[in-house]
C-alpha cells in the first residue's frame, strides 16, 4: 500500500480493472442467484427473453466475471511484496549457508544427529520461512484466485508440514538447503511478473526464460541429486532406519512430483515463447479472454475447474505462474 503502489503508479501500471459489463437486471439476477457460467440451453432462453444474440450474452457474462477480478495494479503490488520477501530470504539463506560445512558436504547434515545445536541464525531462518508460508496458506483465500488453487494449496500444506516436521525432529540442516534452493527460482519469477505488468515485454520474456532454466535445473536436477540423495541414501547409511526418516522422505517426494508437474507446464510455455517470439498467455490467468473469437458454446464446468499451473509461485507462486503476458508455482 505504501511502497508497492507508488512504485506501480510511477511505472505507469494500469490502476483500472477489467471492462465492466453494462447494467442488466435480468442477467445480474441469473449471475448472482443461479450461475456464473450459463449452459447452452439457458443462454438460448435468455436470448429469447432479452432479444439479444447468444454471443452478446456470453460476452456480458464474461465481462461480469472479469469485473470481480483484481486490477493490474493489485497484481503488481502482490508480486512486488513476494519479490521483496524472496530476494531478502534467498540472500539471507546464501549468506548463512556459505559459512556452514553441510553446504559443501551433505553428509555433514547427519554428523552428531540428533544432538545438533540450533544456532540463532538457523532458528531465525526457519521461523521467517515458516511464517511466510503460513501467511500464504491463509492469504490464498483472499488474494488473486487462479485456476491452480488446489495445486498451490497442496504445495503450501506440504511445505508448512515439511518445515514444521523438520524443525521438530531437528532435521534443520538439510531443511535450510531445501529452503534456499526453492527460493532461487521464485525471485526471478516475481520479477518477470512485475515486468509483464509494466508492459516491458522483452524484459518479461527474458526473465521468464531465465526462470524456466533456473526452475528446471534446481527442481529437476539439483533437488533430486543433492537433497533427495542425502535424505534417501546418506541419511539411511549414517543413522539407519527410523520412523521420521520415512515421513520426511514421503513429503520430499510429494514436493518433487509437484516440481515435475510444474516443469512440464513451464517447458510448454517456454516452447511457445521460442516458437512465437514471445511468452504465451498464462494458463492460470485470472482474467478471461475478451476476444470476439470465443467459442459460441460456453466452456464446460469441467474445463473451468481444470487445474493448470503457478509458482512461483508460486509457481505460487508458488510458487506460478505468470499472468496476462507471461506464464506461471506460486511455489
Query: What CATH number corresponds to the domain at position 49?
Result: 1.10.10.60
236 and 203 in a common domain: yes
Q: Which of 244, 237, 238 is nearest to 175 (CA)?
A: 244
Q: Is 98 a domain residue?
A: yes
Give yes or no: residues 182 and 58 share one domain: no
Same domain, yes or no: 158 and 233:
yes
- pLDDT of res. 105: 94
- Sign of the Cα pseudo-torsion (169, 170, 176, 181, in order): negative
Same domain, yes or no: 219 and 128: yes
* Res. 266: pLDDT tops 60: yes
Residues 64, 107 share a domain: no
Residues 118 and 198 in one domain: yes
60/131 same-domain check: no
Residue 161, domain extent: 72-277
Final residue belonging to a domain, choices 68, 90, 106: 68
- Pair (93, 201) in one structural domain: yes
Which pLDDT value is given to residue 277? 62
Residue 294 domain-assigned (yes or no): no
Q: Does residue 323 form part of some domain?
A: no
Mean pLDDT of the 143-162 span: 81
Residue 78 covered by a domain: yes
Least confident of 8-17, 111-120, 124-133, 193-202: 8-17
- The arithmetic mean of pLDDT across residues 321-327, rounded, is 38
Q: Is 324 left (phi over 0), alpha (psi -120 to 50) or beta?
A: left
What is the rounded average pLDDT of the residues 159-163? 94
Domain boundary among 277, 300, 321: 277
116 and 214 belong to one structural domain: yes
Q: Is the pLDDT of residue 298 over 70?
A: no
* Mean pLDDT to the nearest integer, 130-141: 89
**pLDDT tens for residues 204-244?**
989 999 999 999 999 999 999 999 999 999 999 999 888 99
Note the helical H segments in the chain: 4-10, 25-33, 40-50, 54-67, 72-97, 120-139, 149-168, 172-197, 201-216, 229, 235-239, 243-276, 301-304
Instruction: Assess whether 258 and 215 both reside in one domain.
Output: yes
pTM over 0.85: no
- Please tell me the total count of domains within the chain: 2
- Most confident residue range from 16-25, 57-66, 277-286: 57-66
Dihedral sign, Cα of residue 262, residue 177, residue 252, residue 85: negative
Q: Is residue 293 part of a domain?
A: no
Residue 98 and residue 246 in one domain: yes
Instruction: State residue 39's pLDDT score.
Output: 84
Residue 122 placed within a domain: yes
Residue 225 domain-assigned? yes
The one-character DSSP state at 226 is I
Task: Tell me: do 35 and 90 sit in the same domain.
Answer: no
What is the reported pLDDT for 280?
Answer: 46
| Confidence bin at 145 (pLDDT 50/70/90) | low
Which pLDDT belongs to residue 41? 87
Q: What are the beta bridge partners of residue 330?
A: 318
Any domain includes 2: no
Amino acid at each position: 500500500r505504501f511502497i508497492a503502489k507508488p512504485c506501480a503508479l510511477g511505472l505507469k501500471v494500469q490502476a483500472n480493472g477489467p471492462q465492466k459489463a453494462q447494467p442488466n437486471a435480468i442477467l445480474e439476477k441469473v449471475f448472482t442467484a443461479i450461475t456464473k457460467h450459463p449452459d447452452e440451453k439457458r443462454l438460448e432462453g435468455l436470448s429469447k427473453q432479452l432479444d439479444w444474440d447468444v454471443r452478446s450474452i456470453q460476452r456480458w457474462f464474461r465481462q461480469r466475471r472479469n469485473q470481480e477480478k483484481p486490477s493490474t495494479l493489485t497484481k503488481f503490488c502482490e508480486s512486488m511484496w513476494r519479490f521483496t520477501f524472496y530476494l531478502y530470504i534467498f540472500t539471507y539463506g546464501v549468506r548463512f549457508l556459505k559459512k556452514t560445512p553441510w553446504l559443501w558436504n551433505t553428509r555433514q547434515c547427519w554428523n552428531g544427529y540428533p544432538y545438533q545445536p540450533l544456532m540463532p541464525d538457523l532458528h531465525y531462518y526457519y521461523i521467517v520461512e515458516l511464517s511466510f508460508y503460513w501467511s500464504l496458506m491463509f492469504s490464498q483465500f483472499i488474494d488473486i484466485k487462479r485456476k491452480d488453487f488446489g495445486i498451490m494449496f497442496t504445495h503450501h500444506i506440504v511445505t508448512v508440514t515439511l518445515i514444521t516436521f523438520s524443525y521438530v525432529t531437528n532435521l534443520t540442516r538439510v531443511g535450510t538447503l531445501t529452503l534456499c534452493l526453492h527460493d532461487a527460482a521464485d525471485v526471478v519469477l516475481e520479477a518477470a511478473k512485475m515486468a509483464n505488468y509494466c508492459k516491458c515485454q522483452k524484459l518479461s520474456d527474458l526473465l521468464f526464460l531465465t526462470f524456466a532454466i533456473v526452475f528446471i535445473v534446481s527442481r529437476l536436477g539439483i533437488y533430486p541429486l543433492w537433497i533427495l540423495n542425502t535424505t534417501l541414501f546418506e541419511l539411511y547409511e549414517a543413522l539407519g532406519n527410523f520412523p521420521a526418516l520415512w515421513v520426511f522422505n514421503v513429503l520430499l517426494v510429494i514436493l518433487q512430483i509437484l516440481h515435475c508437474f510444474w516443469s512440464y507446464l513451464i517447458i510448454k510455455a517456454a516452447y511457445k515463447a521460442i516458437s512465437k517470439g514471445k511468452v504465451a498467455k498464462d494458463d492460470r490467468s485470472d482474467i478471461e479472454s475478451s476476444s470476439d473469437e470465443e467459442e459460441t458454446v460456453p466452456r464446460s464446468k469441467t474445463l473451468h475447474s481444470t487445474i493448470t499451473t503457478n509458482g512461483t509461485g508460486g509457481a505460487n507462486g508458488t510458487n506460478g505462474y505468470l499472468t496476462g503476458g507471461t506464464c506461471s508455482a506460486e511455489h
